[in-house]
Chain A
Amino acid sequence: MAQKTVLRKPKGFIDVYKHKPGAEKDRTHYCPGCGHGILHKLIAEALEDYDIVEKTIVISPVGCSVFAYYYFDTGNIQVAHGRAPAVATAVSRANPDSVVISYQGDGDLAAIGGNNILQAANRGENVVVFFVNNAIYGMTGGQMAPTTLLGQKTTTTPYGRNPQTDGYPLQMCEIINQLTAPVFVTRTSLHDMPNIRKTRAAVRKGIKNAMDKKGFSFVEVLSMCPSGWKMDAVPAQEWIKENMLPRFPLGTLRDISEEAPAIERPVPVMDADEVKKILGYGAFSDSNLEKNPDAAFNKVALRVAGFGGQGIMSTGIALANVGMEYGYNVSWLPSYGPEMRGGTANCSVKIQGDTIGASECTEPNMIIAMNQPSLEKFEKILIPDGVIIYNSTLIDIEPTRRDVKVYNVPITGIADELGDTRFQSMVNVGAFAAVTGMFDPGEIQGLMSSLFAGKPESVIKLNEKAVQRGYNYVKDNFS
């Protein structure tokens, strides 16, 4: 870049702060002597000098710098408290050629966002984080921050921060430096000119790293909060020197920017069809199946219930998917305990022509009960004239309800005859088709290859058979 002949408001700033409400669109909202303005200027200057204003995205936090988007002439997302590193991750991954800056204060970064910053740093996201440490919550009125010093009086530590009750000031640079991935970890200060110039150098290095895709840079800046500290700006600089430096020593803890290779991440798949294919739903959605106008049901609110491992969830997913193929609106809502198998499980499935509101079936018109406890539990909430399909292989006590239609189907037995009880869910699908008339078993069989994409042909054939058996059993015994 050419040698400067004039130092003026950098082009990284918006000329007139048009996004700022009120009349004063020519000045910032920051208090006199606030360190944010100094750091803002150093960043804006670097963006201009490196000619990257157009490709920079600033993620602004909650805190005094929440309005960073008033000032920087960059892209901006203002995010929930502490979440800047998470959003910066997404922005950086989706726009790998952008320069992504996460700008955060101490409450935002070290308290509510403490885990967010660690995870982003640990992944080595290609972002530069500017961490403004002024040892206090400024915007909210001077409460204790994670970085508040021992003995420091704040509105929430009126007797001074006491380690017995409030813990110790968090040293974020030192914590970040425990991780493997970061390439640049440094702490600078705004307490005098030599250190402001060092901060300038650190800002530029961090931004350069992001431009060169070097990975994660962390620049902590000790900064004045004259209002929060209840003093003037110049004494505030002295206060940093006397009080903050002993706890937050300045210097670069790590700098492997030179030798670190540029990050090359796999490009995320954004295409919807491609995502479906990867998830095994490749052939779905172009089957053009027609709804049966003569079906006994055109609106189903189904509860499928049993032990975990009985194909409860897969029954629900299969029915919802098949329903979707017929052009119905569908929903599937699972409910189960923390254990994967053996606990009780149930799911709600809705299949209907009109729009679905809540997806939980609190008043189902059909239940499929795979075991006795589920039958007892869910027959109670079935609406009058509803349908119970129950697994007569395992349930030998009949339902108590007399105002509903009951189908006892040896679901487990039919699946077992086919060689594997895991075919239960497809027996359920077949039985469902027979009871409701909504689906044709022959047409459903055509969907098996997409429902079971990636499974061997023999498994697909057996599943087709299971559907047919379930269908036939109902037709043969209840017509």
Chain B
Amino acid sequence: MNENRKYPFPEIDPDICKGCKLCIAACPKDVLVISEKLNSKGFHYSEYVGEGCIGCGNCYYTCPEPSAVTVYLKNYVPEEVS
């Protein structure tokens, strides 16, 4: 994970995403888009545009795939890498 990234932000596993677009519809800030690229399953996956996330968690809760979306919230403290 890029330690310079600004919290909050979503992390979408491009390979797990099935491209259903529910997260895109649920995002109040319209900061998720469907990728032009295909993943290994042949889905155009969802991806974060890189800024504008407010950490509402909508994408997480609307995503039917348990491990596709992770949202690092504003108060998230990265674990120390020892």
> Which A residues are within 8 Å of any B CB, using their own CB?
3-10, 13, 26-28, 30-38, 40-42, 44, 71, 192-193, 196-197, 200, 226, 232-234, 237
Contact = CB atoms under 8 A, between A and B. Distances in A.
Given A27-B16, A232-B21, A7 B57 contact: yes
Contacts of A3: 75
A71 B66 contact: yes
In order of increasing CB-CB distance, the 6 nearest A-B pairs are A37-B64, A33-B20, A32-B18, A32-B20, A233-B20, A7-B71
B26 interface: yes
Interface in B43-82: 43, 57-58, 60-73, 75-77
8 contacts: A3-B75, A6-B73, A7-B60, A37-B64, A38-B62, A41-B63, A233-B22, A234-B25
Contacts of A32: 18-20, 43, 64
B75 A5 contact: yes
Nearest to A33: B20
A31 B61 CA distance: 17
Interface of B: 16, 18-22, 24-26, 43, 57-58, 60-73, 75-77
A197 B20 CA distance: 19
Contacts of A36: 64
A85 B61 CA distance: 28
Given A7-B73, A41-B61, A13 B20 contact: no
B76 A37 contact: no
B67 A42 contact: no
A470 B38 CA distance: 89
Contact of A13 (B58, B66, B71, B77): B66
A10 B61 CA distance: 11
Given A7-B69, A13-B66, 10 more contacts: A5-B77, A8-B71, A9-B67, A13-B67, A27-B68, A31-B18, A33-B20, A36-B64, A40-B66, A233-B21
A199 to B, nearest CB: 9
A463 B69 CA distance: 77
B14 to A, nearest CB: 12
Contacts of A27: 16, 18, 65, 67-68
B67 A26 contact: yes
A28 B73 contact: no
A196 B62 CA distance: 7
Contacts of B43: 32
Contacts of B75: 3, 5
Contacts of A200: 61
B70 A38 contact: no
Contacts of A35: 64
Given A6-B71, A234-B21, A37 B61 contact: no
A193 B66 contact: no
B64 A34 contact: yes
A9 B62 CA distance: 13
Contacts of B71: 6-8
A138 to B, nearest CB: 13
Contacts of A44: 66
Looking at A10, A27, A232, the one whose CB has the most chain B CB atoms below 10 A away is: A27
A5 B8 CA distance: 9
Given A6-B73, A233-B20, A196 B25 contact: no
Contacts of B63: 37-38, 41
B39 to A, nearest CB: 11
Given A44-B66, A233-B20, A237-B22, A38 B61 contact: yes
A196 B59 CA distance: 11
Nearest to A45: B61
Contacts of B24: 234
A6 B70 contact: yes
Nearest to A4: B73
A238 to B, nearest CB: 9
A325 B19 CA distance: 70
A193 B58 contact: yes
A41 B25 CA distance: 18
Contacts of A41: 61, 63-64, 66
A151 to B, nearest CB: 26
A28 B17 CA distance: 11
A7 B64 contact: no
A28 to B, nearest CB: 6
A197 B61 contact: yes
Nearest to B68: A27
Contact of A7 (B16, B70, B77): B70
B64 A33 contact: yes
A3 B20 CA distance: 29
Contact of A28 (B58, B66, B77): B66
Looking at B21, B57, B67, the one whose CB has the most chain A CB atoms below 10 A away is: B67
A237 B20 CA distance: 11
A71 B72 CA distance: 23
A71 B60 CA distance: 17
A10 B65 CA distance: 11
Nearest to B70: A8
Given A3-B75, A5-B77, A6-B76, A193 B61 contact: yes
